[in-house]
Amino acid sequence: MKVVVFGASRGVGLKVVEQALEAGHAVTAFVRSPEKFGIKHENLIVFKGDSMDSASVEKAIEGQEAVISALGPTRPPIPRMMETSAKNIVSGMKKHGVRRLVSTTGAGIRQPEDKPKLADHFIGFLLNLLAKTVVVDSAENVKVIQASDLDWTIARFPRLIDGEHTRKYQIGFVSKESGTQLSRADAADFVLKELTEKKWLRKLPLVSH
């Protein structure tokens, strides 16, 4: 599959690129600084762009079969970066007739099916206290995607860690059984499986260890 990955330079996005290439996909890695991108592969195109620039996003999406967005907040946060990026991605996909989108967000974006335990409430309180603008921007990012008519899935992740690629994780909603962390490698594993399996179409599953 031909897929463009936004947020490809670090974290889950970087793991997605690595695993997608291993799986035989043709990958376009959308990054700000191609010279700093360390992966080289015959099935890889490194595309220089800024997700807040609609023209570069649109150009990167042209000719793709699917889109993965692993964009996360910058440090320091850029106001409305996530919301603007989502609008650009959705617009570019509609223009070029690309239907499949798998995006990522934090576990703090609550859903009606969630039954958060005390620890989840506490983490949510801290996030709203210490990173309110990031939480709001992430929520707006989700709303933009939900409002589209694309074939989207938004994977929610708890605290991400540098752990092993175990391929063993829970998928569902926030509950007493859900975990509070996940390895970036396993987060990428779910994104790529869901990309083709479409088991969580137009839903926001929580993925955790």
Q: What is the 3-state secondary structure (H, E, C) of 63-112?
A: CCCEEEECCCCCCCCCCCHHHHHHHHHHHHHHHHCCCEEEEEEECCCCCC
Domain boundaries, the chain: 2-208
Which amino acid would we find at residue 109? I
What pTM value is reported for the model?
Answer: 0.93
Please state, for a pLDDT cut of 90, what percent of the chain lies above it.
78
pLDDT in tens, 74-131: 878 889 999 999 999 999 999 999 999 999 999 888 887 878 766 656 656 555 655 5
Closest CA to 124 of 92, 159, 98: 159
For the domain made up of 2-208, give the CATH fold. Answer: Rossmann fold (3.40.50)
Q: Is 114 exposed, middle or buried (0-12, 13-18, 19+ CB in 10 A)?
A: middle
pLDDT in tens, 144-189: 999 999 999 999 999 999 999 999 999 999 888 899 899 999 999 9
